[in-house]
A and B are shown apart, each in its own frame.
Chain A
Amino acid sequence: MRLAVIGAGAVGSAVVDLASDHGHSVTAFVDSSSAVIDSAGIDTDEVLDRKRADGVVGSDAPEDALSAEYDVLVEATPTTLGDAEPGFSHVQAALERDRHAVLANKGPVAERYADVRALERESEGSVLFEATVGGAMPILSTIDDFDPSHITAVRGVLNGTANFILSRMATEGLDYEHVLAEAQDLGVAEADPTFDVDGTDAALKGVIIANVLSDNETEYTLDDAEVEGIQEISGSALELARADGRTVRLIAEVVEGSVRVGPRLVPDNAPLAVSGTRNIAQLETEHAGQLNISGRGAGGPETASAVLADIGRL
């Protein structure tokens, strides 16, 4: 397949890096200010070196990328709320040209799911977005395999930064501010960790799951989610939980049409009590009991693997 990769950050660059391994070529690659377009396939190593050294991918005009030759558009620009732009327009441009769109960007499927599906219905192209929920973990494709109608609930730890902070606070007896600063030093938390610690990121993933489970009947957006973050969790609360064989995790819960994210008490030895940056999703299936999927929920190559798995499914 020929890929147009929009966004040259951790995810976009890793997709470009791993594309040839999976038998694909990259015909367009774009960041916020530059582009490289070649219908014969770009020299990925050279372009990635240039991005690292000079901060640009090439000297073509970014606006030409959407009309370049490609089979699949990979959307890896920053997740935005509300109108989900510019990601949404990129997906729209691909579908209107009957091309496929594979998303790492959560915005379009969390905030404008019905619009995306409507465009897909009119298109020869399909939309896949495994990478938007749980990085490398095959959560959405497992839901799809079981069929959404056989999944009654999904609960999970879907933000590695928040989980790192909570599990470290619990094991080391340190307070929130201290562990957050440490996570930033380690590169586990971004300079602005707001969306990770206030629950927004986990909620977007919960909303995407709710959209998939509702199978086009009801559309969910962030506004439909009940969201609470971990900023108020104190060391003493974790200590009390621990003395009782429990711990606190930021859990996203999608059940009976509701999406709820907040710190919850779970038994210390429960599958959901993963530690560090690990993620886990627990699917409640109608006929097969509980199914746990755990793994790395973020990271450039991890997320790119999910993108490439989607491309393989097209």
Chain B
Amino acid sequence: MSDSTDEVRSYTVRLELVDEPGELLRALEPIATNGGNLLSIFHERGNVTPRGHIPVEVDLEATPERFDGIVDALRDAGINVIQAGAEQYSEALTIILTGHLVNTDLSDTLSRIHESTDATVTDLSLSAPGGTDDASSARIRLATEEGAVDEAMRSIRTVADEKGLHVIEPLAAGGDA
């Protein structure tokens, strides 16, 4: 990794939100206004903290400098930031999933990949030329921690197997053949 401070990196922020309408939006606003690029949001469904808050995990991209600004802004807005940037996702991984993606609940597939691999989905493109009932394809870019690509691939294969989906894997870790 270079020392440059204007290099965009991926970060994960864990927040605890009060279960009220508009809370999530309020939490996301400081990210955008401070130059962060929102990648994904995961509610840990059904999970409530002992204080009755809802844990939310947000993946975003920003330069290290802006990231610090984002965390400050979140705290200033009274949002409970549990953990910020402890994991740095440093390896990118692109796969293509094909099969009955929509019928097998694509969003469930993605959350399972996320939960079981510690990898975060940073980009998703879906192509369903035959409509949602037909076989379709999705290109998914994931970010994982350094050295965790093989483990992530194993988990993805397991999830895909269970759902009868087909994975086209990248040739080399990071996809740079």
Contact = CB atoms under 8 A, between A and B. Distances in A.
Interface of A: 155, 232-237, 239-241, 243-244, 246, 248, 251, 253, 262-267, 270-273
Contacts of B137: 234, 236-237, 239-240
B171 A266 contact: yes
B96 interface: yes
Interface in B74-132: 94-96, 98, 125, 127-129
B109 to A, nearest CB: 16
Contacts of B171: 155, 251, 253, 264-266, 270, 272
B169 A262 contact: yes
A244 B141 CA distance: 10
Contacts of A273: 177
A265 B95 contact: yes
A309 to B, nearest CB: 29
Q: Say whether chain B's binding surface is mostly helix, strand, loop, or mixed.
A: strand
A232 B95 contact: no
Given A246-B94, A265-B169, A234 B139 contact: no
B135 interface: yes
Contacts of A243: 125, 139
Interface of B: 94-96, 98, 125, 127-129, 135-139, 166, 168-171, 175-177
24 contacts: A155-B171, A155-B177, A233-B168, A234-B98, A234-B135, A235-B129, A236-B98, A236-B128, A237-B98, A237-B127, A239-B137, A240-B127, A240-B139, A248-B96, A251-B171, A262-B169, A263-B168, A265-B94, A265-B168, A266-B171, A267-B176, A270-B171, A271-B177, A272-B177
Interface core residue of A155, A236, A243 (most chain B CB under 10 Å)? A236
Contacts of B128: 236
Contacts of A265: 94-96, 168-171, 175
Contacts of A246: 94, 175
Contacts of A244: 94, 125, 139
A235 B134 CA distance: 13
B175 A267 contact: yes
Contacts of A248: 96, 168
B166 A232 contact: yes
A272 B170 CA distance: 12
Given A246-B175, A265-B169, A236 B129 contact: yes
Contacts of A251: 171
Interface core residue of A237, A239, A253, A271 (most chain B CB under 10 Å)? A237
Given A234-B137, A264-B169, A241 B96 contact: yes
B111 to A, nearest CB: 21
Contacts of A263: 168
B168 A236 contact: no
B94 A236 contact: no
A273 B168 CA distance: 15
Contacts of B176: 267, 270
A246 B92 CA distance: 14
A233 B175 CA distance: 19
Listed from nearest, the 5 A-B pairs whose CB atoms lie closest are A240-B139, A236-B127, A266-B177, A237-B137, A236-B137
Contacts of B175: 246, 265, 267
A264 B176 CA distance: 12
A250 B61 CA distance: 34
B18 to A, nearest CB: 39
A128 B98 CA distance: 42
A239 B98 CA distance: 12
B112 to A, nearest CB: 21
Given A233-B168, A263-B168, A270 B136 contact: no
A263 B168 CA distance: 6
A237 B177 contact: no
Interface core residue of A240, A243, A273 (most chain B CB under 10 Å)? A240
A237 B94 CA distance: 12
B149 to A, nearest CB: 13
Contact of A236 (B136, B166, B170, B177): B136
Nearest to B128: A236
A215 B175 CA distance: 30
